[in-house]
């Protein structure tokens, strides 16, 4: 029988299939208080106020793994906790892209790290199939992606799809995304970056991972769960063998610092998840309020529809306004010179009073 792993094993760099993974002391014997651990060359003395720091953390903290698998409604052998979605991007690039030989595909304007990690491998090239700008928003060029995938001059191993997308803010159509995922089966991994998924009603693709073995989902606690400082994200795959390869052959041995996993677990304590969800609602309300206010503000040319916690705003003299706000200690993201986002500023939604300040600065600058 052709298992899910059989369907994707040729997409993994061959040496990862052959090599032995590292089995750390922590993997062999989980830590508990009742036993004496002399197996990891740790210092037995802890320092005052730093109790427990003398021990290596669990490679994949069991409690957090359980909690995150529950949060995303997947099995524990389908998820690998990473240091943010950023590390997840690096890991999937390492798994799939043979340096100097194979390519990745991105759909600019999109998140810059995909290309940086590919260039760092280095991938042979980064194939760009830009999003189509029409009807005041951005669409996936699914036919363009399919053509690129089949072009004899390309050897694409990874396709990055980001929805909601950064920096455009919008969801890509579920049907277009599905179309690309289905077409890429057996040809390339599709990495669905759902970093901003909690800010939209569009369903997550996590529910389809068993249907599509070549689909890998990236999630993070950074944005919607206010945890950017703790660096906790994950890779989700419907193929447990791939999870094992990531955990034992690609990741560092003890990647998740104890402090980060303990902090992340607090999200799941009674009431905290509710507060996080209320905060998400607050940000969505702020998004709607800001769109209304910006719509009647002089100098604003277009507000791109957003399903994320930021707005892409096209404005007159965008770079000058960015500098003006900077001089008042309000820092935005100036992408007014980047291809596809000409004259645009990316504005993260802040607290209501921070957003009011942005509106006041706009009024002062443009009248
Ligand atoms: C699309 C996208 N993916 C991944 C990341 C990285 O997120 P994390 O904080 O989980 O590393 C970001 C951060 O801005 C992002 O916008």
Pocket of ligand 1 (CB under 6 A): 84-86, 111, 162, 166, 193, 195, 220, 222, 228, 233
What's the gap in Å between 109 CA and the centre of ligand 1? 15
Q: Of 266, 284, 313, which closes a domain?
A: 266
Picking from 330, 329, 335, 331, the residue whose alpha carbon sits closest to that of residue 315 is 335
Mean of the per-residue pLDDT values of the chain: 96
pLDDT of 22 above 90: no
Pick the residue whose CA is nearest to atom 4 on ligand 1: 85
Residue to probe by mutation, ligand 1, list 111, 163, 307, 346, most atoms within 8 Å of CB: 111
Query: Which atom of ligand 1 has the smallest separation from the CA of 232?
Result: 10
Q: What domain range is 221 assigned to?
A: 4-24+59-266
Identify the pLDDT of residue 24: 76
Pick the residue whose CA is nearest to atom 16 on ligand 1: 166
What's the gap in Å between 86 CA and the centre of ligand 1? 6
Identify the pLDDT of residue 41: 94
Identify the pLDDT of residue 34: 84
Per-residue pLDDT averaged across 331-339, rounded? 97
pLDDT tens profile 355-366:
999 999 999 999
Per-residue pLDDT averaged across 174-189, rounded? 98
Measured distance CA(198)–CA(219) in Å, rounded: 10
What's the gap in Å between 178 CA and the centre of ligand 1? 22
For 53, other C-beta atoms within 10 Å of its C-beta total: 14
256 assigned to some structural domain: yes
Residue 257 carries which DSSP code? -
In this prediction, residue 1 has a pLDDT band, given cuts at 50, 70 and 90, of low
Identify the pLDDT of residue 188: 98
Query: What pTM does this model have?
Result: 0.97
Per-residue pLDDT averaged across 171-183, rounded? 98
In this prediction, residue 23 has a pLDDT band, given cuts at 50, 70 and 90, of confident
Measured distance CA(85)–CA(163) in Å, rounded: 14
Measured distance CA(266)–CA(85) in Å, rounded: 20
Residue 130 sits in a domain of what CATH number?
3.40.640.10
pLDDT of 17 above 90: yes
Q: 276 and 199 in one domain?
A: no
């Amino acid at each position: 029988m052709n298992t899910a792993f059989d369907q994707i094993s040729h997409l993994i760099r061959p040496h990862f299939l052959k090599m032995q993974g590292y089995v750390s002391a922590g993997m062999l014997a989980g830590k508990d208080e009742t036993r004496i651990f002399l197996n990891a060359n740790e210092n037995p003395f802890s320092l005052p106020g730093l109790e427990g720091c003398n021990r290596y953390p669990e490679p994949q903290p069991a409690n957090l793994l359980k909690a995150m698998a529950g949060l995303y409604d997947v099995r524990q052998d389908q998820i690998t906790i990473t240091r943010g979605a950023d590390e997840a991007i690096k890991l999937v690039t390492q798994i799939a892209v043979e340096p100097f030989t194979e390519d990745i595909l991105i759909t600019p304007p999109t998140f810059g790290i995909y290309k940086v990690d590919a260039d760092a491998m280095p991938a042979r090239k980064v194939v760009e199939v830009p999003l189509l700008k029409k009807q005041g928003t951005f669409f996936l060029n699914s036919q363009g992606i399919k053509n690129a995938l089949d072009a004899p001059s390309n050897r694409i191993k990874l396709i990055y799809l980001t929805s909601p997308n950064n920096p455009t803010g919008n969801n890509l159509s579920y049907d277009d995304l599905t179309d690309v995922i289905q077409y890429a089966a057996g040809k390339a991994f599709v990495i669905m970056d759902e970093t901003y998924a909690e800010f939209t009603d569009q369903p997550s693709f996590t529910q389809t991972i068993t249907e599509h073995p070549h689909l890998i989902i990236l999630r993070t606690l950074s944005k919607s769960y206010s945890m950017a400082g703790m660096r906790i994200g994950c890779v989700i795959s419907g193929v447990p063998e791939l999870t094992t390869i990531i955990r034992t052959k690609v990741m560092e041995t003890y990647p998740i610092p104890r402090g980060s996993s303990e902090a992340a677990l607090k999200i799941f304590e009674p009431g905290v998840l509710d507060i996080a969800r209320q905060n998400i609602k607050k940000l969505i309300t702020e998004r709607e309020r800001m769109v209304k206010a910006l719509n009647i503000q002089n100098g604003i040319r277009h507000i791109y529809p957003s399903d994320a916690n930021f707005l892409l705003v096209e404005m007159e003299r965008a770079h000058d306004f960015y500098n003006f706000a900077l001089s008042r200690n309000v820092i935005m993201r100036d992408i007014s010179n980047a291809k596809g986002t000409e004259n645009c500023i990316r504005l993260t939604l802040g607290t209501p009073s921070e957003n009011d300040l942005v509106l006041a600065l706009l009024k002062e600058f443009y009248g």
